[in-house]
Amino acid sequence: MRLTADEYQHRLEVIARAMRLYGEAAQGNINTALEMLNEPDFEISIPVERFQGLTGSEFDRYERITCPDCGEVMNLRMVPKNDEGINSQCVCSNPLCDTVLDSELTIDDWRRELSGHQ
């Protein structure tokens, strides 16, 4: 079963806490730091398939658009100010697909669009 965005965010927070508290004692080894943290019910190893499509971004909570070429989820990224009026790009999450779509929407516009609040 795939992790939810909340589960993934919690996982990132636990890892950060373990590294902040025990990273030096664990000599930078995340697994050792997690074992030292001794967080109940925290799986140290999880199959990569459970993370598919999750980036740690706030946009993980929303159903995103899919790539018109391969059908995978598109990630969003801001772009620097430019003369073309492009404010963001949709980038395919599939490492084997090089689809990138320019968008005039800002990241805030995308947030409103994906959350259903116009």
Retrieve residue 51's tokens.
Answer: 């993370």
Complete DSSP assignment for 56-118: SSGGGGSPPPB-TTT-PBEEEEE----TT---EEEEES-TT---EEEES--HHHHHHHHHT--
**Whole-number average pLDDT of the chain:** 85
pTM over 0.85: no
For the ranges 1-10, 35-44, 85-94, the lowest mean pLDDT is seen at 1-10
pLDDT, residue 60, reads 72
Sign of the C-alpha dihedral computed for residues 30, 34, 36 and 37 taken in this order: positive
Mean pLDDT of 9-16: 87
Q: Give the residue from 108, 117, 114 showing the smallest Cα distance to 64.
A: 114
Q: Where are the domains of the chain?
A: 5-51, 58-115
Retrieve residue 6's tokens.
Answer: 């909340």
pLDDT digits (tens, 9 = 90+) for 65-81: 899 999 988 888 889 99
